[in-house]
């Protein structure tokens, strides 16, 4: 199953740990593919945070 997740890593909004927890919750529900709609994705710092902080935390949640 696939799910869309809204994420907002702008300062004062969602923390990277919040996004990782939301992704873990989806995996716990059986979601195998997640699509992240990242607000402000045109800002390099948000993509960098997603790649360096969030993704390593959730990598491997679902076996291939």
Mean pLDDT estimate for the chain: 92
- CA 30 to CA 18: how far, in whole Å? 19
The predicted model gives 12-41 an average pLDDT of: 94
Which tens digits make up the pLDDT trace of 28-46? 999 989 999 999 999 999 9
List the domain boundaries for the chain: 2-58
Contacts of 32 (CB under 8 A, 6+ apart): 1, 2, 62
The yes-or-no verdict on residue 63 having pLDDT over 70 is no
């Amino acid at each position: 199953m696939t799910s869309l997740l809204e994420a907002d890593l702008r300062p004062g909004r969602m923390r990277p740990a919040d996004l990782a927890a939301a992704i873990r919750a989806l995996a716990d529900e059986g979601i195998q593919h997640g699509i992240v709609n990242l607000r402000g994705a045109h800002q390099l710092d948000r993509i960098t945070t997603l790649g360096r902080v969030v993704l390593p935390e959730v990598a491997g949640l679902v076996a291939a």
